[in-house]
Amino acid sequence: MNQFGTIMASEISETPKVFRTLLENKDAFTSIKNVLIEEKIQSVLILARGTSDNAAHYLKYLIETQIGLPVGLTSPSSVTVYGSVLKYSHTLIIAISQSGQSPDLVKFATAARQSNAYLIAMTNDDKSPLAAIAHHHFSLLAGPELAVAATKSYSAQLLISYLLVAEWTGKKINVEQIIGEATRVAQTTGLVSEAVEAASRDKEVVILGRGFAYPNAREAALKIQETCKISVQGLSTADYLHGPISALTSDTQVFIVAPSHLPEHSISEATIKIRAINPRIFWIGNGGTPKGSDIVIPGSNCDDEITSTIVDAIVLQRFALEFSVAAGFNPDAPLGLSKVTLTN
Does the pTM of the predicted model rise above 0.85? Answer: yes
Residue 341 in domain: no
pLDDT of residue 148: 87
Query: Alpha-carbon distance 265 to 242, whole Å?
Result: 17
Residues 206 and 301 in one domain: yes
pLDDT in tens, 118-158: 999 999 999 999 999 999 999 999 999 998 889 999 999 99
pLDDT digits (tens, 9 = 90+) for 239-261: 999 999 999 999 999 999 999 99
For the stretch 159-181, pLDDT in tens is 999 999 999 999 999 999 999 99
**Does residue 184 form part of some domain?**
no
Q: How far is CA 175 from the centre of its chain?
A: 20
Residue type at 127 in one-letter notation = K
Alpha helices in 170-256, H assignment, sequence order: 175-187, 193-198, 213-228, 237-241
Both 128 and 196 in a single domain? Answer: no
Q: Is 185 domain-assigned?
A: no
Residues sharing a CB contact under 8 Å with residue 242, sequence separation 6 or more, in sequence order: none
20 & 167 share domain: yes
Mean pLDDT score of the chain, rounded to an integer?
Answer: 95
Residue 1, pLDDT score: 38
pLDDT (0 to 100) of residue 82: 96
Phi, psi of 250 (to 5 degrees): -70, -15
The predicted structure's pLDDT at residue 125: 95
Maximum alpha-carbon separation in the chain: 59
Q: Does 155 share its domain with 70? A: yes
261/204 same-domain check: yes
Within a domain: 266: yes
Q: How far is CA 151 from CA 39, 146, 156, 200, 300, in A?
A: 33, 10, 9, 23, 17
- C-alpha 181/C-alpha 45 separation (Å) is 31
Answer yes or no: do 221 and 153 share one domain: no
Cα first-last separation, the chain:
41
Query: Do 40 and 127 reside in the same domain of the chain?
Result: yes
Work out how many domains the chain is built from and give that number.
Answer: 2
Task: pLDDT band for 343, please (50, 70, 90 cuts).
Answer: confident
Give the whole-angstrom CA distance, residue 93 versus residue 66: 18
Boundary (domain end) residue, out of 130, 157, 178: 178
Residue 64 lies in a domain: yes
Task: Please report, as a single letter, which amino acid is at residue 155.
Answer: S
Domain co-membership, 222 together with 99:
no
Pick the last residue of a domain from 156, 178, 200.
Answer: 178
Q: Give yes or no: residues 194 and 70 share one domain.
A: no
Q: Looking at 178, 211, 226, which one is the last position of a domain?
A: 178
Residue 340 lies in a domain: no
In a domain? residue 333 = no
Residues 195 and 162 in one domain: no
pLDDT digits 0-9 by tens, 72-127: 999 999 999 999 999 999 999 999 999 999 999 999 999 999 999 999 999 999 99
List CB contacts of 26: < 8 A, sequence separation 6 or more: 163, 173, 175
Range of the domain at 207: 190-326
Same domain, 255 and 200: yes
Query: 3-state SS of the chain: helix, strand, coil percent to 5?
Result: 45, 15, 40
Q: Reduced to 3 states, what is the DSSP secondary structure of residue 12?
A: helix
CATH code assigned at 128: 3.40.50.10490
The verdict on 207 and 227 lying in the same domain is yes
In a domain, 37, yes or no: yes
